[in-house]
Amino acid sequence: MKKLLVLCVLGVLALGLGANPYVPNVLSRVWFDYTGDCNIQFGSDLILAVQHLTGGPGLTLTTGTGSFSTPASFNPPMNESDYPINLNISELIPGFSIDPLADYLCVLYGDYNLDALRWGHGDDYGIYLHPLGPDQAAVHVRQVYYPGETFFFWAKENGVDLISEYETADRCTYNIHVSNLSGDPVPNHPVFFYPGGYPYYYQPTHYTDANGNLQIEEYARRCWIGIRDWNYNVLFEQHFFPEPDQIIPVNVIINSVANEDPLLTPELSQLAVYPNVISARQETVHISYLKAPAEARLYLYDLKGRELESRDMSALDELDWNLPELSSGVYFVALKSGTRELGRQKLIVIK
């Protein structure tokens, strides 16, 4: 409920910024030093927040213990070159209290919630990270997928980078192997991998290679992995809260051999989309697939996995698809026969 309230407040903030839909995320890092003091790093997004908002003499930090206001003497710098700024909040605010094992930290300016981080144990959806270890920091990573689409997420790093903001070089690695009951590797098996941790079997994100292996390098952030057999039964699903530099093995045995599945077409590259980069002046793409089955259907998905449109491609080797009006971004074209995905290609729209 608290997370929903935070999202609602940020939505109001986005409207308050007028034509600019960018919502400031003021926290760049959070960590606890060896004395137990809580430290935070403000990123340059703090400038955007104080420029567009009014309502208080300073910032308020809320934890599970209570609300704590920064002293009136604290005035955020208004020059981007002065960021990031690193503060020992336990020293700056007398009486500040926070639990390093399970708690949350919200930053407010007046009545507006500018940012939030929640950590703890378990896999509750409201938790972004497991507790920070010694000499670890929570990093609010900023990723720009394309103009106008900026996303933030929390990840861990070893050590504390006091210089850069909204980025960390640390990663973790998932080594996934899929085999059958005979111990043979299963190639081209679909894997569902979603950062953020929400179970999502809408469409596969990856496929194993010829040796049944899949290696995914990712930020040390909450992720979810799911694998099903050919009958669509769930064989493996798990949330992960990885540590930086951690190598995570995932070994799954399926109950049927890949080449025994009559609807699977291992050569996923047979699906072709041309052109796969289109501009505003283009509305039609050419789709081809070698030996499409008697019942096959094309699907168009956005980056979040939402179905935008579909059309029949039964027993057709090629066709021209007149696409709906699309905004700039990354999309996916998938060909399915029943519940089996036969191929998937990326489509990029640039306007």
Dump pLDDT digits (tens) for 286-328. 998 877 788 889 999 887 678 899 999 888 888 999 998 888 8
Residues 107/116, Cβ–Cβ less than 8 Å: yes
340/190 Cα distance (integer angstroms): 10
Per-residue confidence (pLDDT) for residue 125, from 0 to 100: 78
Q: What angle do CA 127, 225, 269 make, to 5 degrees?
A: 140
Domains 172-260 and 268-350 share a fold: yes
Fold of domain 268-350: Immunoglobulin-like (2.60.40)
Look at residue 58 in the predicted model and tell me its pLDDT: 78
Tokens of 196: 């953020």
Positive or negative, the Cα torsion across 185, 188, 193, 198?
Answer: negative
Low-confidence residues of the chain, pLDDT below 50?
1-20, 257-269
In the chain, domain spans: 2-158, 172-260, 268-350
**DSSP per-residue codes, 38-81:** EEEEE-THHHHHHHH--S-SSEEEE-SS-EEEPPTT------GG
CATH number for the region 172-260 comes to: 2.60.40.1120
Quote the tokens at residue 225: 């992995």
Rounded to an integer, what distance in angstroms lies between the CA atom of residue 217 and that of residue 25? 25
pLDDT at 261: 40
Cα gap 328→16, rounded to integer Å: 24
CB burial of residue 11 (10 Å; 0-12, 13-18, 19+) = exposed
User: Shortest CA distance to 247 belongs to which of 161, 177, 348, 312?
Assistant: 177
- List C-alpha distances in Å: 235 to 187, 228, 232, 238, 254: 16, 5, 9, 10, 7
What pLDDT digit, counting tens, does each position of 201-219 carry? 777 889 999 999 999 999 9
Largest Cα–Cα separation, the chain: 73
Q: What residues pair up with 337 in beta bridges, in sequence order? A: 340
pLDDT score recorded for residue 231 = 67
The rounded distance, in Å, linking the Cα atoms of 84 and 115 is: 16
pTM: 0.68
